Structure 1
Amino acid sequence: MIRFLLLLALVLSFNNSYGQLGFCNGSKGDPIFQEDFGTGSGYGPRLAAGITNYSYVTQDPQDGEYTISSIIGREIPSWHSYSPNLTPSGGKALIINAGFTAGQFYRTDISGLCENTTYEFSAYLMNIYNSASGACADGDIPVNVKFQIWDETDTQLLKEGSTGAINSTAFPLAEEYALTFKSAPGQNNVILKMFNNGEGGCGNDLAIDDIIFRSCGDLTSIDAGNSSNMDLRVCEEDTPYNVDLKATPDNTVYQTHAYQWQRSLDAVNWTDISGANQSNYTVVNLVQSTYYRVKVAEDSINLTNNLCSSFSEAFFVQMVSVPTAPVSNGDVVVCGNSEIPQISVKAGVDEMVNWYDAPSGGNLLQAKSFNYQPDVAGIFYAEAKSTLIECKPSSRTAVKITLDNIPDVEDETIQICPNSNISLDAGVSGFNYMWSTGENSQTIQVTQQGNYTVEIATNLGCAVTREFTVNDIDDAQISDVRTDENSIEIIPVNIGVFEYSLDGVNFQDSNVFLGKPGGVYTAYMRDKSGCNTVSLQFPYISPLKFITPNGDGYNDNFILRGVETFPSSQIMIYDRYGKLLKASNGSNFSWNGTLEGKDLPAADYWYHIKIEGFGELKGHFSLIR
């Protein structure tokens, strides 16, 4: 689709090459004529008879031909392959391949003009030759178009102007050109003519779109008192409101001025204000937002026709309502030691929010922010104000931050006895509970090992989870009891968490007992949960580890402490070769390291103790000389 880019702002002056052309510098009316060459895709329709002497084709035109199309550069690769996208209408355009001789290529009649009125003629032009193609070996011919406005008799030239050279570019580029003229009294029709000022050849091919005629009037501004802005804002609490409006034309076009004030609620649908026909107008008892503008014509007869007059820009008297209270994005609950988050509210368009520490009055905590970051929990108040004008603020919206404490809990590992149950307790009361079993009481009963969790929650929704690991109880069994001269050690069959005792009353975690006298003992062993207790009776005799029979009174004889409690016991001493050296019962047994009165050499010797009802004890000791 052919569309064109406006290179510069439409009201900028052209350089000296375009001195004969010019835009309307004042206010413009609605288009009285607009040729946009249609919309859609493809080619056509052809121009009406008499508009051009060029030949119509349905492809890229050759010299002396034209087409109406939304596409270019199909058959002629040196043309731009696409078009800009910013003309008012878009759609199709008139594509001209200039003839070999300069001359007129377009003529059309314009009717419906208002008499004694200044008009602006404008059109968009584009050089469609792509300078980057290099197709013109000797250089391309610039586009140069002359515009003429004739009276309806085609005898009086009212205005003319030429574009000057429109050079080719390496990318699609369109530009709007315009000239102004004034209709005479009684004149309602004119003729538009366009001429190719350059001869045909390589280049000099153009596209034209949006040929527009519209009235041109003074640039009229409206002000209210000392305000030069095109709007006035009024607080709702100050209504009904009165204001004096003044229209000031710049006198660049009209020699005389006729006025008609209009009002609108949407800046689209306008109605005349009866009797408001002066440059000044007083608005009385205004209670709602309203747009005002003034229609200006050089002759009062043209005020009834929008095509024969011009309009000022709309002046907006905006009533600024008292804002509604901001809408809270929700109160916040802070669980335990979590960081205090931001709180926030929503407000209307063109409104800001201030935060306070009280529902009215109080201290300003933060200005112009929809969010607030408190340092502590509490209630905070958001107030909306207009950003357009200093007016009455809204009522305040309370946003609450509540600190919700949650209990400190620790995970626990416990054991369960075979074929029994055990109670699991959340450990804190007064909360809401949700166990992994689906139960919701503070305590539950379980009958098998596994992992159990309980979510402990407050009424405000803060929660903490406690985990219980329930294991089957360790099997308490005694493998052996080992003794030496100073200690008793109870040896378990399995590795586990057990308690040990020698009296069945006082239990300890350690399985070693020290400093016990010799005698008959019972070793007790149980699991920590007290599911099972086992016992084993054993004799405790404490033999010496070595003897030094040198007569100093220390360890001169091998004795068995505690054996005296077993009078029916039998004790035997052997050398390394198994030779029996001494045998006796357990009463007051002692051996001094001699055999038949002679000292035996330093060496290791073995003892063998038979205790009635307990079996045998064997071991060895050293004789040191």
Structure 2
Amino acid sequence: MSRIALLIVLTLCFRSLGSAQTCTGNLGDPVLNETFGTGNYHLKPGETTFNYEGGCPSKGNYTISGFLFGCGNRTWVQMVGDHTPNDLNGNYMMVNAESTPGVIYMDTAKNLCGNTVYQFGMWVTPVMTHFSCDGNAVLPNIKYQLKTLAGVTLAIDSTGNLPIVNDRDWRFYGFTVTTPPGLTDIIVNITINPPYGCGSGFAIDDITLSPCGPTISALIDGSPGPAEVCADYTNPFVMTAAYSPGFADPVVQWQMSVDSGRTWTDITGATTLTYSVPHRTSGAIMYRICIAERANINSVNCRVTSNAIYTAIHPVPAHAPPRTLIGCLGKDFHFPQADPRALEVLWTGPGGYNSTSPNPVIPTIQYSDSGLYKLKETFYYNCVSLDTFYLKIFPGTTVSLEPSYPICEGQSELLLASATDSVGFLWIPSTGLSNNTIPNPLASPRDSVIYKIYATNKYGCTDSASVTIDVYRNPVANAGIDKVILRGDTAILNGIATGTSVNYNWSPSNYLNDAGLITPLAYPPVTGTYTLQVVSTVGCGSVSDEVEVKVYNDFFIPNAFTPNGDGINDKFQIPLLDNYRLTHFTVYNRWGEIVFNAQGSRTDWDGKFKGLPQPHAVYVYFLELVSPTGKKITRRGTVMLIR
């Protein structure tokens, strides 16, 4: 028997004793890593004997998806999301192996190292519920196997019968195997051989084969990290590592990643357990350490890796140049607002001054408060900003205003301001002012307004005061349009009275239901005039307006019209009285056919029927109106259409 054959036999004997053992140390990057991708992903030819089917798989088929529900005739669990961590829109493989033996997945891991421990692993979830197959589902049992290219089994195990579930239940299945010396390629083979019958549904994800070795861990400055500092840091990062026994001749290699761990690069010369990270001023870099037997250290498929440590260098906050601040004697002084992103703020200054407020105030400032002030702002990651301010104190000024009084629309008022020393004035807003830079402008605002005056002395010290001018609206009277009624009916007077604080009344009060209402009812027996009087109670005068109520014995209905387009009597039109509602207006021809019908506000016929001019003839009309009091008024008669 050859030496290689003997080693294979010995390995098989070892696997039969502990086929479910998994790695107790650290793993390296996967040599084989099947996550089933994202989106529209398909297996390569030869990787499975099952047939692909979009959507829920039927008997003997599989699908690759990240969102499925209603499968197994609506008896399988909902499968929303895959198993792979941080895998946005990731997929899993769902298989319906009902009465269908075959290869679920098969691939070859290449460029392995001999005499090295590898861990095979996969994540599987049952998908069948107790409703599946009317409660008699065949439970799937998945076999996973590692073998040589020659077909010699290195290790084999199975999941056992996957249980019935109510929700997805991802579980890990795997084992470790030690490769014989000289063996570089291994076939990963996952199969199923179900009994005949309904069932055998499952999903699988994250099939991996990774190198396994001793435990190895990394620290940064004695901590597992992460480490984030400001760009002006002075203490360098020092990485240290430790590992447990397991390799006969271990060698280490530090690595770095600038793309959040997607790819890693060996750091030249970093081959000891301690690594001092070069000083840098920006960026995020991850670090880790790898370990392998000396003969295998140059093969990424044979290394075991530590935890990854994240480091980030944050920019130093911008420093403002020194500034001179002006304080005005006897006034409250407000320091500039600190950066709102600062976690801590400390102001210090003369006489032991200190404040942790982001916008501190020195009340009633004095000459003794002059001097140098410092602002220390502390941000995340111990980033610190130091700024200086020199505060100078100058004589202040005080502005005062005489009280104002209300004015009526169109009137003016003189504003009276004064200051304690020689100053410049500025009124805001300037609207309605004769001059907004003098102390006593003439104000003629159209609306109520608050004027604010700023007085600034030669040192730049400013004081302000404000005054409110209320503008009263002048009275306005609108008695409305003239009214027309039939004798015995009622008109509504549509009066409008506006202005600030006004009283109003109608005169004469004869035949009004209430002369104090703005819209009273009027029922005069003859034509007459009513006057609406509006009086301001705040001294802005009084106004009046008149409305005529015409009283007719009856309303006029014409007996002929000439629709010839000359603009004179072109329509048969009945003028409606005020507040009267038209309920029916119908015109018939000599045969009793309706040629015009209207209601509401339309009371004119243009002599056409269905868009066609009607002939010269006598037509009959019927008219019905409702008065403001609800009384119905009807009229019947004839009208001559003349052409």
TM-score by length of 1: 0.55
2:432 is aligned, of 437, 447, 459, to: 437
Post-superposition shift, 1:92?
Answer: 4.1
- For 2:298, give the aligned amino acid: T
1:190 aligns with 2:201: no
The equivalences for 1:178-217 within 5 A come to 178-196=174-192, 199=195, 201-217=197-213
What secondary structure does 1:298 align onto? Answer: strand
CA contact (8 A) 2:445 2:471 kept: no
Question: In structure 2, what is the Cα distance between the partners aligned to 1:125 and 1:62?
Answer: 19
Matched residue, 2:112: 113
Matched residue, 1:83: 80
1:170 aligns with 2:191: no
In the alignment, structure 1 segments of 5+ residues that lack a partner are: 1-18, 473-625
Matched residue, 2:242: 248
| Count of aligned positions | 429
In structure 2, the CA distance between the partners of 1:101 and 1:326, relative to structure 1 (3 Å rule), is: same
2:467 is aligned, of 440, 451, 465, to: 465
- For 1:355, give the aligned amino acid: L
CA contact (8 A) 1:36 1:209 kept: yes
Matched residue, 1:383: 376
2:296 is aligned, of 288, 302, 309, to: 302
- State the superposition RMSD in angstroms: 5.0
Post-superposition shift, 1:109?
Answer: 2.9
Deviations along 1:417-452, one digit per CA (max 9) or x if unpaired, are x9xx98723343553225542422333458999978
- For 1:229, give the aligned amino acid: P
- For 1:79, give the aligned amino acid: W
1:144 is aligned, of 141, 146, 161, to: 141
Question: In structure 1, what is the Cα distance between the partners aligned to 2:449 and 2:381?
Answer: 61
CA contact (8 A) 1:231 1:315 kept: yes
- For 1:466, give the aligned amino acid: T
Question: In structure 2, what is the Cα distance between the partners aligned to 1:200 and 1:174?
Answer: 25
1:48 aligns with 2:45: yes
CA contact (8 A) 1:344 1:372 kept: yes
In structure 2, the CA distance between the partners of 1:395 and 1:128, relative to structure 1 (3 Å rule), is: same
Post-superposition shift, 1:333?
Answer: 11
1:358 aligns with 2:360: no
Question: In structure 2, what is the Cα distance between the partners aligned to 1:375 and 1:212?
Answer: 67
Post-superposition shift, 1:205?
Answer: 0.5
Question: In structure 2, what is the Cα distance between the partners aligned to 1:386 and 1:448?
Answer: 50
Question: In structure 2, what is the Cα distance between the partners aligned to 1:55 and 1:160?
Answer: 25
- For 1:34, give the aligned amino acid: N
What secondary structure does 2:166 align onto? Answer: coil
1:219 is aligned, of 212, 215, 218, to: 215
Question: In structure 2, what is the Cα distance between the partners aligned to 1:409 and 1:147?
Answer: 96
- For 1:213, give the aligned amino acid: L
- For 2:386, give the aligned amino acid: S
Question: In structure 2, what is the Cα distance between the partners aligned to 1:40 and 1:263?
Answer: 30
What secondary structure does 2:295 align onto? Answer: helix
- For 1:257, give the aligned amino acid: P
CA contact (8 A) 1:411 1:467 kept: yes
CA contact (8 A) 1:324 1:395 kept: no
- For 1:212, give the aligned amino acid: T
CA contact (8 A) 2:149 2:185 kept: yes
- For 2:418, give the aligned amino acid: V
- For 1:178, give the aligned amino acid: G
Post-superposition shift, 1:165?
Answer: 4.5
Matched residue, 2:606: none
- For 1:437, give the aligned amino acid: G
1:127 aligns with 2:126: yes
Post-superposition shift, 1:315?
Answer: 4.9
CA contact (8 A) 2:76 2:132 kept: no
Deviations along 1:198-239, one digit per CA (max 9) or x if unpaired, are 6454543112223222223333223467x2434668887774
What secondary structure does 2:301 align onto? Answer: helix
CA contact (8 A) 2:96 2:200 kept: yes
What secondary structure does 1:76 align onto? Answer: helix
Question: In structure 1, what is the Cα distance between the partners aligned to 2:258 and 2:399?
Answer: 58
Deviations along 1:468-502, one digit per CA (max 9) or x if unpaired, are 76999xxxxxxxxxxxxxxxxxxxxxxxxxxxxxx
Q: Which structure: larger Rg?
A: 1
1:30 aligns with 2:54: no
The equivalences for 1:148-547 within 5 A come to 148-155=145-152, 157-196=153-192, 199=195, 201-223=197-219, 227-230=222-225, 239=234, 245-251=239-245, 254-262=247-255, 271-281=265-275, 283=276, 286=279, 293=287, 295-315=289-309, 324-325=318-319, 344-346=337-339, 352-358=343-349, 362-366=352-356, 371=358, 374=361, 376=363, 381-385=374-378, 388=381, 393-396=384-387, 407=400, 409-413=402-406, 424-428=414-418, 430=423, 431-433=425-427, 434=429, 436-439=431-434, 440=436, 441-444=438-441, 454-459=451-456, 462-467=464-469
What secondary structure does 1:95 align onto? Answer: strand
Post-superposition shift, 1:79?
Answer: 2.1
Matched residue, 2:94: 95
What secondary structure does 2:343 align onto? Answer: strand
Post-superposition shift, 1:139?
Answer: 5.2
In structure 2, the CA distance between the partners of 1:426 and 1:314, relative to structure 1 (3 Å rule), is: same
Post-superposition shift, 1:342?
Answer: 10
Question: In structure 1, what is the Cα distance between the partners aligned to 2:103 and 2:82?
Answer: 28
In structure 2, the CA distance between the partners of 1:56 and 1:291, relative to structure 1 (3 Å rule), is: closer
Post-superposition shift, 1:182?
Answer: 2.4
Deviations along 1:345-373, one digit per CA (max 9) or x if unpaired, are 2276xx632322318x945433xx7x356
Question: In structure 2, what is the Cα distance between the partners aligned to 1:377 and 1:23?
Answer: 76
Question: In structure 2, what is the Cα distance between the partners aligned to 1:124 and 1:432?
Answer: 77
Post-superposition shift, 1:332?
Answer: 12
| Identical columns (%) | 23
- For 1:353, give the aligned amino acid: E
Post-superposition shift, 1:257?
Answer: 1.1
- For 1:395, give the aligned amino acid: L
Question: In structure 2, what is the Cα distance between the partners aligned to 1:471 and 1:142?
Answer: 89
Matched residue, 2:632: none
TM-score by length of 2: 0.53
Post-superposition shift, 1:248?
Answer: 1.0
Question: In structure 2, what is the Cα distance between the partners aligned to 1:395 and 1:33?
Answer: 53
Question: In structure 2, what is the Cα distance between the partners aligned to 1:277 and 1:69?
Answer: 43
Post-superposition shift, 1:413?
Answer: 4.9
CA contact (8 A) 1:432 1:456 kept: yes
CA contact (8 A) 1:326 1:384 kept: no
In structure 2, the CA distance between the partners of 1:184 and 1:401, relative to structure 1 (3 Å rule), is: farther
Question: In structure 2, what is the Cα distance between the partners aligned to 1:100 and 1:164?
Answer: 17
